[in-house]
Amino acid sequence: MRRDLPAAACALATALALAAPSGAHAFERIEATFFAEYGAEEYTIDQGEIVTFANTDAFLAHGLVSDTGTGALFSSPVIGTGRTRLLRGTPFLTAAGSPYAFHCPTHPGMTSVLNVGPGGELLPTDDAPPAAGLKIKTGSAAKLVRKRKLRLVLTPSEAVDVIVGASVKGAALGSAERTYVTPGRRVVTLKLSRAAASAVSRLRAGAARVKVKLTLADVAGNVTVVKAGRRL
């Protein structure tokens, strides 16, 4: 599911979500390592636990997908070295169905096992899109050009993968990817290239309207796009 929401509406949704009580959830990290191997032969989590997948292999792209079922019970997309993603679906796995075998979709011989213990509490089935407040904190075009940095404040409502992109007059200023396993305030700083800073400097005063787009995806695979703009 994918929806576009204005930043103001998302900020309200975030405030409500953060105010609501929620159970504490532990976190596990599965790594792809050199050379086309997972970091362990098996991993163990409790029910409801959030898991991230990180690719630390310096040479190859890797992903993760469960062996069971006609559709993946849990998965992470194929990602390049140094990148991290949420492992979608793990908070909904039951201890009764454990163990769960998984493999890399691009390297079928790369395998491991995920065990789910009886502790913890399953997350409820979720088809609601994630939310996030978004503020552009850089105050002026002159400051943006001088420092070549665009400062953003995000407040995701839950664990999410975030892709951030910023532009002015159709020209890209910068982008970033982040994975957050808890809700709350986060600061993201996009570093502008010299070409991007030069493009901003050529705009007349007051004509530099920065546009920021967030694409958020939660552990259930729900996707939301949040947009904001500010004239500098």
Give dist(CA 77, CA 42) in Å, integer. Answer: 20
Q: Say which range, 28-37, 188-197, 201-210, has the weakest mean pLDDT.
A: 201-210
**Structure-token pair, residue 178:** 């982040």
Mean pLDDT of 163-189: 95
- Compute the CA torsion angle 173, 88, 122, 73 (nearest 10 deg): 170
Higher pLDDT, 109 or 206: 109
Does the pLDDT of residue 22 top 80, yes or no? no
Q: What is the mean pLDDT of the chain?
A: 87
Domains 2-18+127-231 and 26-120 are alike in CATH topology: yes
Using DSSP bridges, classify how beta strands 132-136 and 149-156 pair: parallel, antiparallel or unpaired. Answer: antiparallel
> Band of the pLDDT at 75, cuts 50, 70, 90?
very high
Q: What is the CATH topology of the domain spanning 2-18+127-231?
A: Immunoglobulin-like (2.60.40)
Mean pLDDT of 174-197: 96
Q: What is the pLDDT of residue 26?
A: 67
Does the pLDDT of residue 15 top 50, yes or no? no
Q: What is the CATH topology of the domain spanning 26-120?
A: Immunoglobulin-like (2.60.40)
What pTM was computed for the model?
A: 0.84
Using DSSP bridges, classify how beta strands 107-120 and 42-47 pair: parallel, antiparallel or unpaired. Answer: parallel
Give dist(CA 169, CA 164) in Å, integer. Answer: 17
Q: Say which range, 4-8, 67-71, 164-168, 174-178, has the weakest mean pLDDT.
A: 4-8
Does the pLDDT of residue 40 top 50, yes or no? yes
Q: Say which range, 2-11, 45-54, 66-75, has the weakest mean pLDDT.
A: 2-11
Phi, psi angle pair for 221, to nearest 5° = 90, 5
> What are the structural domain ranges in the chain?
2-18+127-231, 26-120
